[in-house]
Amino acid sequence: MPIFGFDLRQLGCVIICWTELIVDAGNLGKMGAVLVTGALGQIGSALVPTLVRAFGPDAVIASDIRHPTSAFDHTIPYELLDCTDQDQVLDVVQRRNIGTIYHLAAILSAVGEDKPQAAWHVNMAGLAHILEAARLYDCAVFFPSSIAAFGPGTPRDGTPQVTIQRPNTIYGITKVTGEMLCDYYHARFGTNARGLRLPGVLSYSAPPGGGTTDYAVDIFHGAVRGARYTSYLKPDTRLPMMYMPDAVRAMCELMAAQGSRLVHRNAYNVAAMNFTPSELAAAIKMYVPDFVIDYKIDPARQAIAESWPRSLDDSAARREWDWQPGFDLDAMVSDMLAHLPLTNP
Ligand code: NAD
Ligand code: AKB
């Protein structure tokens, strides 16, 4: 994006606007384009437009294993890319002159328990190929870990940054292994890999992709369609959550942060809010008075939720790169409901 003869990425001072939040997203890596894998998913659908606003449509390459749907903005360069195919990954990174990779492609927790071998393959082979491409072509890498990287032996309230990590889901095992693989590439090869342990992420624009926290998105669609929702988690199941604008901003801010400040660079706890299905239903009822929630428990997803933190200590992120969430429960509910009637007339 040349302006007055300079490329803003060179200056490290690109400004991103997202729902009135301003982010400095500079220092993303060496010069080069930004590749997003898994770009058609819930987070990619929000991240790609934000990156395009920062860097321009020619500097952001969206990719996924699927052909783009009609909702995809076809002005953005697109690659059909299976991240488990090393040759494809190396080809795209070299041919598109990639400098930064946001590696979002993955299989999430609930689908992962149905297909554990596929989850291991996509999540681990995919990350290994991305890190190898980053080593060979000197790219920065963003890796989204998850609250799933913790397990039943972890303290569940105010889960510390450094604590026991013995997850009992295949998804969680791939996330903690992914954190360690990023640590290894950074220590052994100097790869600029950075990561967040994201809570359940909520958004109105794209459906979630088969996780345990999906209820907290689905409930809004139930609320605007028929003022009803049947929760598959028990009413008192507390989980950490984050609204999509905060999640995208956290990803961009971490990638922009000064490397010398990052002690826990590959796996920061980040927190914004935590709630139970019954608390979320009560918050929605403030805006949709007729709203009714009932419960039909899915034992598989309930067991996963009960192995995860109820709340996170994100003081390392606050200290090392000035993380601050923007949305609490009420602000998130109000914003979700303000947008959903437009997408579900
Ligand atoms: P999603 O399921 O919505 O999207 C994942 C995308 O990856 C899909 O579009 C899918 O087609 C693609 N994909 C699957 N296999 C692929 C392959 N072999 N090659 C290329 N693409 C492939 O997931 P999301 O919610 O957007 O999550 C993105 C990342 O963030 C994942 O790594 C996930 O684990 C992590 N994360 C998400 C949340 C959340 O609440 N959404 C929370 C914590 C961490
Ligand atoms: C899931 O529920 O699998 C994801 C996550 C918290 O990683 N949303």
Residue 37 falls within a domain, yes or no?
yes
Which pLDDT does position 30 carry in this prediction? 58
45, two tokens: 């659908």
Q: What is the CATH number of the domain that holds 286?
A: 3.90.25
293, two tokens: 């929630």
Residue 183 and residue 305 share a domain: no
Hey, which of 113, 114, 213 would you mutate to test ligand 2's pocket, going by the most ligand atoms within 8 Å of its Cβ?
213
Residue 256 and residue 147 share a domain: yes
Q: Which atom of ligand 1 is nearest to the CA of 44?
A: 26
Residue 169 and residue 36 share a domain: yes
Q: Does 123 score more than 60 pLDDT?
A: yes
Of the candidates 102, 171, 243, 268, the residue annotated as catalytic is 171
Q: Does 139 score more than 90 pLDDT?
A: yes
Q: How many CB atoms lie within 10 A of CB 204?
A: 21
Ligand 2 centre distance from Cα of residue 150 (Å) = 12
Range list of β-strands (E), the chain: 2-3, 6-7, 15-18, 21-24, 33-37, 60-64, 78-80, 98-103, 140-146, 193-198, 200-202, 228-231, 239-243, 268-269, 273-275, 292-295
Residue 315 falls within a domain, yes or no?
no
Ligand 2 centre distance from Cα of residue 308 (Å) = 10
Residue 219 and residue 117 share a domain: no
Ligand 1 centre distance from Cα of residue 161 (Å) = 23
Mean pLDDT taken over the chain: 91
Full residue range of the structural domain in which residue 286 is found: 202-240+273-310+328-339
Residue 41 falls within a domain, yes or no?
yes
Residue 319 falls within a domain, yes or no?
no
Residue 206 and residue 185 share a domain: no
Nearest CA to ligand 1 atom 9: 41
Length of the chain: 345
What backbone phi and psi angles, to 5 degrees, belong to 217? -95, -50
pTM above 0.85, yes or no: yes
Least confident window among 13-17, 109-113, 289-293: 13-17
Q: Does 343 score more than 70 pLDDT?
A: no
The per-residue pLDDT for range 231-253, each reduced to its tens digit, is: 999 999 999 999 999 999 999 99
Residue 63 and residue 105 share a domain: yes
Which pLDDT does position 131 carry in this prediction? 98
Q: Is 185 a catalytic residue?
A: no
Residue 220 and residue 180 share a domain: no
The number of folded domains in the chain is 2
Residue 305 and residue 278 share a domain: yes
Residue 344 falls within a domain, yes or no?
no
The per-residue pLDDT for range 81-118, each reduced to its tens digit, is: 999 999 999 999 999 999 999 999 999 999 999 999 99
Residue 227 and residue 148 share a domain: no
Q: How far apart are CA 261 and CA 271, in angstroms?
A: 19
Residue 168 and residue 86 share a domain: yes
Residue 288 and residue 221 share a domain: yes
Q: What is the CATH number of the domain that holds 248?
A: 3.40.50.720
Ligand 1 pocket at CB < 6 A = 37-38, 40-44, 64-66, 81-84, 104-106, 108, 122, 126, 144, 146, 198, 200-201, 208-211, 213
Residue 235 and residue 166 share a domain: no
Residue 51 falls within a domain, yes or no?
yes
Residue 235 falls within a domain, yes or no?
yes
Ligand 2 centre distance from Cα of residue 32 (Å) = 31
Q: How far apart are CA 104 and CA 90, in angstroms?
A: 17
